[in-house]
Each structure stands twice: as C-alpha cells, then as structure tokens.
Amino acid sequence: MGQLQIADAPINLIDLIENKKATGGDALPEAGNGRKVYIETYGCQMNVADSELMGGILLSHGYTIARTVEEADVILVNTCAVREKAEDRVFGRVATLNGYKNRKPGVVIGVTGCMAEHLRDKITDQAPYVDMVIGPDAYRRLPQMLADKDQQEAKDKKDEHDPIIDVRLDRRETYEGITPVREEGVTGWITIQRGCDKFCTFCIVPYTRGRERGVAPREILRQARALAEAGYKEVTLLGQTVNSYKYEGVDFADLLTAVAQIDGIERIRFTSPYPVDFTPKLIETMAREDKICKYIHFPVQSASNEVLKVMRRGYTIEEFRQLVVDMRAAMPDLAISTDIIVGFPGESDEDFQATMDLMREIRFDFAYMFKYSEREGTFAHKRIPDDVPEAVKGARLKEMIAMQEGICAEIMKPHIGKLVHVLIQGNSRKSDDDWVGRTDTFKTAIFPKVEGTEPGQIVPVRVLKATSHTLVGEIEWNCSKP
Ligand code: SF4
C-alpha cells in the first residue's frame, strides 16, 4: 500500500453520465427496473475504481445512477478499513442515511468494501438498519442480492430485518468483462490487480481484500482502448503492489509496454509499486517508453532495518537505497515520493533519525507521513505492543513534516523559469479563471486559462513562481510541443 491515499471526504459517484451503456453479466438484466443507486466512496483510489465497477454492474441490470442521496432507492456506502477514523465516520454516516430510509420506505442501504469485510458483525450489531453488507469480491452478485432484498420486503418481513451478508473472498474474482462507469475526468483508472500477498504486519488489506491476483491483460487492454476512444489522455494502472503484477507469462513491464502502444493514450502512471518487486526490466521499460511518466511512488515506511523487519516489509534499507540509485541512473529527472510510518513499535530515537537521514539523502519529491496506530485484526495489533508513547510519535511526526516541507520547497524552486508540460485537469480550486493540472512528474501546476484550452489537453507552461507544493505559471505556445 502506498499512494493509494485515503480521501478525507467521501467521494460521490454523481458526476456519472446517467444511462451509460455497461456490461456486467447476464442474470437479472432488468432487475433494477430504473431504480436509482447512489454510491458514496470512502478511502483510496482502489475504492473509487470499485465504486465505478459497482456502477457498471448495476447499470447493466437496469438500475440508473442517482445524483443525490435524496433521489436514491439504493444507497451504497463503499468503505475503507485502513484507518479507524474512517470507520467511525462511516458509522456516523450510515446513521444519517437511516434518516432517509425512514422518510422513504423501501430504500435499501448497503455497506460495501473493506469495512464490510473487516467489521461485518459490528455493522450488523451497531447499525441494524443496514440491509446489505458486501465484501470486495461479491460485487458481481449485487443485482441478485438486491432482488433477494425485494423478495424479503414483499414477504413483509420488515420487522425481522434480516441483513444480507456476502463477504466471501474469492481468489479468482477479477471482474473481467465488466465495464466500469467512470467518473468524468482526464485520467482513467484501471484496476490491474486485486488483493495483496505481502502481509506487512501493520496492514489490514490482505485480510479485507484477499489474495493477490492479476486481471487478464486482454481485459486491461480492452479498458485502456475504451478509455482512449472516450478521449482520456492518461491512464493510471492500479494495484496494492502493482509491480508484482503477473498473469500467466505476462509481467508488469510487459503490460506497460502493451498499454504504451495504444494510440490516444499519452501518459501512463501506476500506483503503488512494492520496492522488492521493482526489477531491472521494469526500470529499463520506464526509461525507454516516453509515455510512462517519470514519477514513482516508492513507499519506504522506515529506514531502520530493525523496524523494517518487524514490519515484515521484505527488504533492507540498503536494497531500497540501491533501487533508488538504479532508477535515477536510468531516469535522471525521475520524481520519487514515499510513505513513512512514524512511531512504529520498537522505533528508537536512532531508528527515527535513520529515517530522517534517508529522507535528507534521497530528497523525496514529497512524502505521506503518518503516526502509527494499531488496526484491529492485523498481526501487529495481536502480537506487537504499541510501545512508542503518543507524545513521542507526535513530536517525531512534527519534526519530520517540517523537514520534508523544506525539501519540497527546495525541489520546487529550481522549476522557476523552466517550461513544464501540464495535463489540464480542470478549474483551479481558488479561481475559475485558472486551470490546474499535473506535470509528467506529478507536480501540481496552476496557470491562467487561455482561449482554446480545455481539460484533457497537455499544454506547455512557463513556471513563474513555486511554493513547496505548487508551480504557478502561464501557457507559452511559442515553444516546442510536448
Ligand atoms: S500488506 Fe503491505 S504491501 Fe500489502 S497493501 Fe498492506 S502495506 Fe501494502
């Protein structure tokens, strides 16, 4: 797990185009009968992609997408189990949603995703008004479950309220053949791998998403071609440990090479790679293919070998460091970001300083830094005492963030005066007169709109100013096109 960042706010699947065609299976083709589904997503990009998948399955069974929760007949809350805070928020949210159910009898509320897998008993105990609890490998059965729920209602068993629970993990399910209903945007996300086999001691994902399995290359290429035809310029390949992808004889480097052949796709990203699965072949492929962005999210977690061992990360810091050297030798302009956990059990002052030293040495373009907190169900929760005091964790995190902010500012400053090529994503948050977009190396750039430009275009931008996280500039047409 790495750059699969956890969103602070739920993401609604309301910008979808209603009644888009999708394919999701043969059974119950008209079961939805036009009923409206509202899908609210918490958590990482994998979850957003799963919501798009559920949207695709339900549309192909006669449902339509609700733009607001008020108009919904079915409300699905797609959840994340990585942090306890996110789970608490979901409990609060489903309690609020129960209010809609009371006002509109017949509304079905489902909790889907990692939390459904992780806390199914707690959900049915604490939120008895939840009608369905559905794990990440059961989405194909959603139309059947909704039909079963209808039958329950028809038999007037409301007083018995029997939630439908399906949290079976299925090591073969990759949702091949289903066309996700995508959010509007300039980047198309393609899930190429589900589950995780790494079992880092702090992480719940292998328990909530099951064993690692690759999606068939034919399915990935089908989705990538469909995205190109729909006008998407950028695709991001998604997996918990994306570069450990394997499908029969095809590895991740082969897959990247194949996606790079698709006309219309101009940028390819992937997230998140796992350090030990970064092969020389993959580095060579990235360096060779212009379409593959020169940016890697490379989660180190700690620079102490002792801590890495207890985390069961499967690499030493020397191996990690060598990979960075190899990647930079092949791609001198490569941007690298990382994830760090501060205050993992047993982390001494020396261990923490080793991580700070590594950050000074590697100079990550940015870092997602977190205080360790136990997750119920993980190996660490069961067997490794959380022995670093909260105050120490807090102080270390503060010190680390301050140092990384300084590094970010130093890395951004030399961009001033340079030309960068930016994929326009949309309006800047602060002004409708400005576009915001990303450079090849994943830097955020803001610049005034000019006539003839629109989201999805890649434009040359001269950088005039830089903060620690944003480049500010203006479009400069009289230069070579990207
Ligand atoms: S177990 Fe490790 S590699 Fe797998 S998702 Fe969790 S942190 Fe990532």
**211 and 93 within one domain:** no
Q: What is the pLDDT along the chain (482 residues), one digit of tens a residue?
A: 443 444 444 444 333 333 333 334 445 666 777 899 999 999 889 999 999 999 999 999 999 999 999 999 999 999 988 888 888 899 999 999 999 888 888 899 999 999 999 999 999 999 999 999 999 999 999 999 999 988 887 776 555 578 999 999 999 999 999 999 987 778 999 999 999 999 999 999 999 999 999 999 999 999 999 999 999 999 999 999 999 999 999 999 999 999 999 999 999 999 999 999 999 999 999 999 999 999 999 999 999 999 999 999 999 999 999 999 999 999 999 999 999 999 999 999 999 999 999 999 999 999 999 999 999 999 999 999 999 999 999 999 999 999 999 999 999 999 999 999 999 999 999 999 999 999 999 999 999 999 999 999 999 999 999 999 999 999 998 765 44
Residues 24 and 59: beta-carbon distance below 8 Å: yes
Together in a domain, 250 and 161:
no
- Output the domain CATH number for residue 136: 3.40.50.12160
> Are residues 286 and 335 located together in one domain of the fold?
yes
Pocket test for ligand 1, best of 191, 198, 278, 300 (most atoms within 8 A of CB): 198
Q: Residue 469: which CATH number?
A: 2.40.50.140
- Final residue belonging to a domain, choices 379, 394, 412: 412
Quick one: 236 and 328 in the same domain?
A: yes
Q: Is 85 part of a structural domain of the chain?
A: yes
Let me know whether 429 and 384 are in one domain: no
In a domain, 362, yes or no: yes
Q: Which two tokens stand for residue 351?
A: 């261990």
Picking from 357, 385, 412, the residue at the C-terminal end of a domain is 412
Same domain, 270 and 401: yes
Question: For residue 6, is it within any domain?
Answer: no
404 plus 426 within the same structural domain:
no
Together in a domain, 378 and 443: no
Q: What is the 3-state secondary structure (H, E, C) of the chain?
A: CCCCCCCCCCEECCCCCCCCCCCCCCCCCCCCCCCEEEEEECCCHHHHHHHHHHHHHHHCCCCEECCCHHHCCEEEEEECCCCHHHHHHHHHHHHHHHHHHHHCCCCEEEEEEHHHHHCHHHHHHHCCCCCEEECCCCHHHHHHHHHHHHHHHHCCCHHHCCCEEECCCCCCCCCCCCCCCCCCCCEEEEECEECCCCCCCCCCHHHHHCCCEECCHHHHHHHHHHHHHCCCCEEEEECCCHHHCEECCEEHHHHHHHHHCCCCCCEEEEECCCHHHCCHHHHHHHHHCCCECCEEECCCECCCHHHHHHHCCCCCHHHHHHHHHHHHHHCCCCEEEEEEEECCCCCCHHHHHHHHHHHHHHCCCEEEEEECCCCCCCHHHHHCCCCCCHHHHHHHHHHHHHHHHHHHHHHHHHHCCCEEEEEEEEECCCCCCEEEEEECCCCEEEEECCCCCCCCCEEEEEEEEECCCEEEEEECCCCCCC
Does residue 305 sit within a domain? yes
Same domain, 136 and 47: yes
For residues 20 and 145, membership in a common domain is answered with: yes
The atom of ligand 1 lying closest to the CA of 313 is 2
* Residue identifier of the C-alpha nearest atom 2 of ligand 1: 200
Q: What's the domain count of the chain?
A: 3
CATH number at residue 316: 3.80.30.20
**437 C-alpha vs ligand 1 centroid, how far in Å?**
29
Same domain, 407 and 421: no
- Return the half-sphere exposure (C-beta side, CA atoms, 13 A cut-off) of residue 117: 24
User: Would you say the CB of residue 44 lies under 6 angstroms from ligand 1?
Assistant: no
Q: How far apart are CA 82 and CA 211, in angstroms?
A: 17
**Has residue 308 been placed in a domain?**
yes
pTM of the model: 0.91
**Are residues 91 and 216 part of one domain?**
no
| 172 belongs to a structural domain | no
Taking the centre of ligand 1 as the mean of its atom positions, its distance from the CA of residue 2, in whole angstroms, is 8
The boundaries of the domain holding residue 225 are: 187-412
